[in-house]
Structure 1
Amino acid sequence: MSDNIEVEEESLFEAPPMAEQERMIEAVLFASAEPVTLKEMEARMPHGCDAAEAMVYVRRRYEGRGVQVMKIGDAYALRTAADLGYLMQKETVEVRKLSRAAIETLAIIAYHQPVTRAEIEEIRGVSVSRGTVDQLLELEWIRFGRRKMTPGRPVTFVVTEGFLDHFGLENARDLPGLKELRSAGLLENRPPMGMMPQVGEGEDEPESTEGQSELFED
């Protein structure tokens, strides 16, 4: 009799079947507005679950579907397949365009992170206005990084997971190359200085990006 009781108690700690764990992963991804890490998923799941293994099966099952499981940094989210994005265009209520200064500043941060304001200005060849940085911070596409171990210990800037999520990137290494950026109209075929182009002298002035690549439209 006691043996039966012990077996029943042990069974309470057995992890659910993998198929059930996959369903749990799907439910969490579907209900979450923001990308979710494996650690966060496992914290919600019953004892003994393996979120990492279940995620492998879930991602495999969604390959080639209209909705896919995207890895964004260390987190995961359900997103519309990239080639079907055009179907969502009618759902866009407001399109916010960045100035050319903001686009170039964002690109420099993405390709050179962590990067200081002084380094951004050196690459662009012009000073970076506070409004340009504030706009990118407000969009939550960049954030403050660690202070640089140089005189004055200047703060650095890095792109956020929100930036990666918006452009369907797993990490910054997936960013397009200079050739792709120029063909998209982002660099306007100007000769690069370092990895990014140099622009004319003077303070940043807000400029319309009409005709620029849709890559940096929200």
Structure 2
Amino acid sequence: MSADAARRPMPAPGTLQEAQSAPARDPGLRLLEAMLFAAGEPLDEATIAARLPEGADARALLTALSADYADRGFNLVRVAGKWMLRTAPDLGFLLARDKPEPRRLSRAALETLAIIAYHQPVTRAEIEEIRGVSTNKGTLDVLLAAGWVRLRGRRRSPGRPVTYGTTETFLVHYGLDAIQDLPGLDELRGTGLIDSRVSAGLTVPLPSDDPGLKDDEDPLEPEFELSFAPEPEGDPDGED
């Protein structure tokens, strides 16, 4: 026996036997882990099922893996109707210092994003009417460049203004499985974002990001979609 081997600690009694007798991990579960770990973006259930061994139950495996990772350093979560591995919420602050500081949205951009999320499809004029102030075009450019907002179509009204809606990237960034998971009136009151004494007539719209165009929307011209959303210049979040 070498000196190095002699210095290695002996395994605790029963440890080696338990390891040898432990049941082998389900091959489908191992493949699922590998897929999710290597994926650069969330995976939908259909894509996962197509890559699993024949006869594997994708939904059952996802449920089992989600439960298995519930108390680990990373969790299996469902966002935008898809699945991805994400750092456990209680550990996020420890890793944040290792990431580059993200660009913070201005108050104008946050308000605009919230209005689009709840009221989509919505035009720039409608955003300004709800906010009560004019909105700099650069504010919308910032949200488009971030990938959180998209151009939907054109409203069938004078001037045929462009309509805006949110994207899958928006859902992933905010950890939402669906746009309907945005907080409602009672939740907003509970967080203090809305005064509990507000008018009884105040309502929060039920958000919908249905990709299909509404009856009052027309498709965008292909050349318009390709040429839009230039890189913002100067102070894009300022107000007009």
Contact 1:67 1:79 in 2 (8 A): yes
**Counterpart check, 1:61 vs 2:68:** yes
Contact 1:148 1:154 in 2 (8 A): yes
What does residue range 32-111 of structure 1 map to in structure 2 within 5 Å?
Answer: 32-111=39-118
Q: Which of residues 113, 127, 133 is equivalent to 1:120?
A: 127
**Counterpart check, 1:179 vs 2:211:** no
- After superposition, the C-alpha distances for 1:132-184 in whole angstroms (9 at most, x for unaligned) are 1110011111112354455665432222222222222222222234336655x
Specify the alignment match of 2:7 in structure 1: none
Query: Residues 98, 182 of structure 1: CA spacing in aligned structure 2 closer, same or farther, 3 A cutoff?
Result: farther
Ranges in structure 1 where 5+ consecutive residues have no aligned partner: 1-16, 197-203, 208-218
- After superposition, the C-alpha distances for 1:29-71 in whole angstroms (9 at most, x for unaligned) are 1111211111111222233333222112111222232211111
Identity of matched residues, %: 46
Query: Residues 25, 118 of structure 1: CA spacing in aligned structure 2 closer, same or farther, 3 A cutoff?
Result: same
Once the two structures are TM-superposed, the CA of residue 128 in structure 1 deviates from its matched residue by: 2.2
Q: Determine the C-alpha separation between the residues in 1 that align with 2:192 and 2:61.
A: 40
**Further displaced range: 99-108 or 56-65:** 56-65
Q: Determine the C-alpha separation between the residues in 2 that align with 1:48 and 1:113.
A: 41
Report the secondary structure of 1:145's partner residue. strand
Q: Determine the C-alpha separation between the residues in 2 that align with 1:167 and 1:55.
A: 21
Specify the alignment match of 2:238 in structure 1: 206
**Counterpart check, 1:24 vs 2:31:** yes
CA root-mean-square deviation: 3.1
**Further displaced range: 167-176 or 76-85:** 167-176
Q: Determine the C-alpha separation between the residues in 1 that align with 2:80 and 2:25.
A: 25
Partner amino acid for 1:21? G
Specify the alignment match of 1:200 in structure 2: none
Contact 1:18 1:54 in 2 (8 A): no
What does residue range 134-153 of structure 1 map to in structure 2 within 5 Å?
Answer: 134-148=141-155
Contact 2:142 2:237 in 1 (8 A): no
Once the two structures are TM-superposed, the CA of residue 26 in structure 1 deviates from its matched residue by: 1.1
Ranges in structure 2 where 5+ consecutive residues have no aligned partner: 1-23, 206-235
Q: Determine the C-alpha separation between the residues in 1 that align with 2:38 and 2:140.
A: 32
Query: Residues 98, 41 of structure 1: CA spacing in aligned structure 2 closer, same or farther, 3 A cutoff?
Result: same
Q: Determine the C-alpha separation between the residues in 1 that align with 2:92 and 2:106.
A: 24
Contact 1:123 1:194 in 2 (8 A): no
Once the two structures are TM-superposed, the CA of residue 205 in structure 1 deviates from its matched residue by: 5.8
Contact 2:139 2:237 in 1 (8 A): no
Query: Residues 182, 20 of structure 1: CA spacing in aligned structure 2 closer, same or farther, 3 A cutoff?
Result: same
